[in-house]
Amino acid sequence: MAKRQRSQVERYHDRVAGLYDTIYDGDPYWEVVFQITWRHLLRHFPKDMGTRCLDVGCGTGRWGMRFAKAGYRTDFLDISRKMLDQVGGKLAALGRPRSDIFAMPGAPRPDLPDDSRPLLWHAALDDLSALPSGAYGFIVWQGDPLNCAEKPGKAFREMARLLAPGGVMAMSVDNRLQGIYHYFKDGDVKGLAEFLRTGKTNWITDDPEERYRITMFTPGQIRAMCRERGLELVSLVGKTVLPLRRFRGLLDDPGKRAELTRLEESLHAEEALFANAAHLEFIARKPERHVSRQFDA
Ligand SMILES: C[S@@+](CC[C@H](N)C(=O)[O-])C[C@H]1O[C@@H](n2cnc3c(N)ncnc32)[C@H](O)[C@@H]1O
């Protein structure tokens, strides 16, 4: 990952780390999104209590902390040291010691402790070479960290390497189909053509020093990435296919919230509705290793 891009991604997330949970807490739209996400993940979570989990782009540990609290051995990875500090604080509150591993690009290869403390990987998606192959039975990457990787294809390939045979990954990405309107609004037809070709655009923040390039994905691309890495695409959904964000006020009424949540979950795998969704989320499984047969000569 180019150093400038990396430092902008890191800088932005370091700045928001302390506020991050409060941005979402108490917002009915996000409460529904998180509830739906959680149910989607759990449907595909490996049953074995020995499953080792990795929360990638963990932020403040919204997902990984749930697995850790439930007793699964869970490691966390983020480019932002300050996000990892938030996770460290939550683990400390549970009385769980952890090991911090510095594995940012250019760092010498770290020694890994041989106990079962949670590992907090300070690492970037663009260089995951320090992480052990086939170690994780469940990898969650929510909140679209892949968008910020300079080479998303390489990051995805690496993540498939970390997955154990039979392991499952659950990932959300920004939906390219949702970026189109922005270019129409600005009358930028040339920009639109380029965006549709590459999926690359800028993450807009007030401070130009914190702006960085992101990649948005199409459903077809997700299928292709899984196919190329030999992963079985188990589920692909839009988040959210109903206009729940725009009409979030409806979600204040418990009865309407329950009904809209039910409707959303009944529709979110409908491909025809994917263009409505800000995010695409998918679950992919790595097949069990094939046992090679021995034949007599
Ligand atoms: C939008 S937050 C999502 C946090 C959390 N997963 C959640 O769902 O609440 C994205 C996280 O990905 C991390 N991230 C972004 N780019 C990354 C990269 N290239 N390598 C590792 N982490 C990255 C950010 O620091 C941030 O914590």
- pLDDT tens for 125-145 read 989 999 999 999 999 999 999
Q: pLDDT above 90 covers what percent of the chain?
A: 85
Confidence category of residue 230, pLDDT binned at 50, 70, 90? very high
At 245-262, the pLDDT tens digits run 999 999 999 999 999 999
Whether residue 294 lies inside any domain: the answer is no
Residue 296 has pLDDT above 70, yes or no: no
Whether residue 297 lies inside any domain: the answer is no
Cis link prior to 240 (omega < 30° from 0)?
A: yes
Pocket test for ligand 1, best of 78, 120, 279 (most atoms within 8 A of CB): 78
Whether residue 179 lies inside any domain: the answer is yes
Residue 212 has pLDDT above 90, yes or no: no
Whether residue 296 lies inside any domain: the answer is no
Pocket test for ligand 1, best of 83, 147, 205 (most atoms within 8 A of CB): 83
> Which phi and psi angles does 236 have, rounded to 5°?
-135, 125
The backbone region for 230, taken as left when phi is positive above 0, alpha when psi lies in -120 to 50, beta otherwise, is left
Cα separation, 177 vs 279, whole angstroms: 9
Residue 12 has pLDDT above 50, yes or no: yes
Task: Find the 59 Cα to ligand 1 centroid distance in Å.
Answer: 5
Cα separation, 117 vs 95, whole angstroms: 11
Residue 289's pLDDT is what?
Answer: 72
At 16-59, the pLDDT tens digits run 999 999 999 999 999 999 999 999 999 999 889 999 999 999 99
Residue 98 CA to chain centroid, in angstroms? 22
Task: Find the 145 Cα to ligand 1 centroid distance in Å.
Answer: 4
Whether residue 293 lies inside any domain: the answer is no
Task: Find the 209 Cα to ligand 1 centroid distance in Å.
Answer: 18
Total domain count, the chain: 1
Quick one: average pLDDT of 262-281? 97
Instruction: Answer for the pair 142, 170: CB distance below 8 angstroms, yes or no.
Output: yes
Task: Find the 61 Cα to ligand 1 centroid distance in Å.
Answer: 10
Whether residue 292 lies inside any domain: the answer is no
Residue 114's pLDDT is what?
Answer: 87
Instruction: Looking at the CA of residue 57, tell me the nearest atom of ligand 1.
Output: 12
Task: Find the 83 Cα to ligand 1 centroid distance in Å.
Answer: 9
Quick one: average pLDDT of 140-161? 95
Output the CA torsion sign for 107, 130, 214, 21. Answer: negative
Cα separation, 264 vs 239, whole angstroms: 9
Pocket test for ligand 1, best of 41, 75, 79, 85 (most atoms within 8 A of CB): 79
| Domain at 151, CATH number | 3.40.50.150
Cα separation, 36 vs 16, whole angstroms: 25
Residue 290 has pLDDT above 50, yes or no: no
Instruction: Looking at the CA of residue 140, tell me the nearest atom of ligand 1.
Output: 6
Residues with CB under 6 A from ligand 1: 9, 13, 57-59, 62, 78-80, 83, 124-125, 142-145, 148-149
Cα separation, 255 vs 65, whole angstroms: 29
Instruction: Looking at the CA of residue 1, tell me the nearest atom of ligand 1.
Output: 19
Whether residue 291 lies inside any domain: the answer is no
Task: Find the 238 Cα to ligand 1 centroid distance in Å.
Answer: 20
Question: Which residue range is the domain that position 111 belongs to?
Answer: 3-285
Lowest mean pLDDT among 94-98, 158-162, 208-212, 226-230: 208-212
- CA proximity to 144, closest of 120, 122, 119, 176: 176
Residue 225 CA to chain centroid, in angstroms? 15
- CA proximity to 280, closest of 150, 169, 149, 178: 178
Whether residue 209 lies inside any domain: the answer is yes
Instruction: Answer for the pair 74, 118: CB distance below 8 angstroms, yes or no.
Output: yes
